[in-house]
Amino acid sequence: MARGVTAAAALLTGIVATGTFDTGGVNSTPNVIAAQWTAAERTGVGLAEAELRATEQAAARTTGSAPAETSGDPVEALRVAAGAHARSGGDPGRSSETAAEIAEAAVLVGRTLAAPAAGDAADDATEGGSVAEDLTAARTLLRTAGDASDATAATHAEDLATGSRSVLTGVVGTLATLLMLGVLVWLALRTRRIVNVPLLVATAMTGWLAYVSLNPAAVPVSVDGQVSGTAEVADALQHVREARAGQYAPVLGTTDTFATDGANAAEALGALDDPELSEAWEQIQAAQEDVAAAPDPAAAAEVLAGTQEAYAGLDTELSERLDGRLGAAASRVGLPAVVSSGLALLLGLSAAGLAWAGITRRLQDYR
């Protein structure tokens, strides 16, 4: 009984330490989590891009001007974001809600693009409502979906950084180590042999797995820096795009959220510790006073057009940084996580084998 219990305890610790299990049930393997985390990050920035592109296109139609050359197709941006969301995993129920929100936002965005341009009709009314109403509803849906995507990305990031095993492996590993120490003492008293070396080594392995689960920095293979650094860039790009969309409120007559959005963008850029990016955003943000003071939507749009080149440069810089980080996620994040999980399982198997062999040898001696 002692042999079977100690071997099972050591093996269970190794299995739990792979990160395949968490307190919510069976989890994905680390390389799959890395892919889902990448998709969730791309979903958030993609939804923010769709919001911005829809806003730019609606503003151009409202003022009768041509969209900026850097303005893309919001429907295509939504299609790409929906595809990324489908690969992002997360809670199935909330994931379905997010997919429905993206689909509904796509319908509203399509209506805003189909609205008559300035001068083509007496008003901007569409079949389902005004351009401003449709755009506001679409932005609300996209922000809600974006928040859900951010939460999913944060969950995956935590799973990658901790291996989904900090608490569970800490508990299982600690209990297994105490059990094996108890068997060591009992075996020594029972057989009048002080030390069982194989069982002692197995106990040390199990204890080390429990220690590492509570102190991930003890393992040289760490993905925390890669995950957090990439998340900061994605967060900055998402907030900057949302704030840029908020700048168009005076042009479209929508709810002005720039005060909050602009502050969030400045904070997110500050987290990157790059003065050039922060200064670029400060210059763009400073133009909002002139936008708000413009006598009509066309004048406000003209002020924003003057900052378009600066914004396009900031957006491109952040996008390239994010693409570079996410493009290397499979090798820099997924592979190390797989290696650490494989080592954990190998240690668990080895500890179980040593515990079995040690007690078998002592049983033979005792007989």
Residue pLDDT, tens place only, 216-225? 666 655 566 6
Q: Provide the pLDDT for residue 20.
A: 73
Residue 344 pLDDT > 70, yes or no? yes
Q: Provide the pLDDT for residue 216.
A: 63
Q: Which residues contact 343 (CB under 8 A, 6 or more apart)?
A: none
CA 56 distance to own-chain centroid: 27
SS3 for 141-206 is HHHHHHHHHHHHHHHHHHHHHHCCCHHHHHHHHHHHHHHHHHHHHHHHHHHCCCCCHHHHHHHHHH
Q: Provide the pLDDT for residue 164.
A: 54
Residue 213 pLDDT > 80, yes or no? no
Position 341 confidence tier, pLDDT thresholds 50, 70, 90: confident
Q: Provide the pLDDT for residue 115.
A: 66
Least confident of 11-20, 108-117, 214-223: 214-223
Residue pLDDT, tens place only, 123-168? 444 444 577 888 899 999 999 999 999 999 988 887 776 665 567 8
Residue 195 token pair = 């030390």
Q: Provide the pLDDT for residue 123.
A: 47
The residue among 316 and 70 whose pLDDT is bigger is: 316
Q: Provide the pLDDT for residue 128.
A: 41
- The answer to whether 110 touches 61, Cβ cutoff 8 Å, is no
Position 7 confidence tier, pLDDT thresholds 50, 70, 90: very high
Q: Which residues pair with 121 in a beta bridge?
A: 118
Position 260 confidence tier, pLDDT thresholds 50, 70, 90: very high
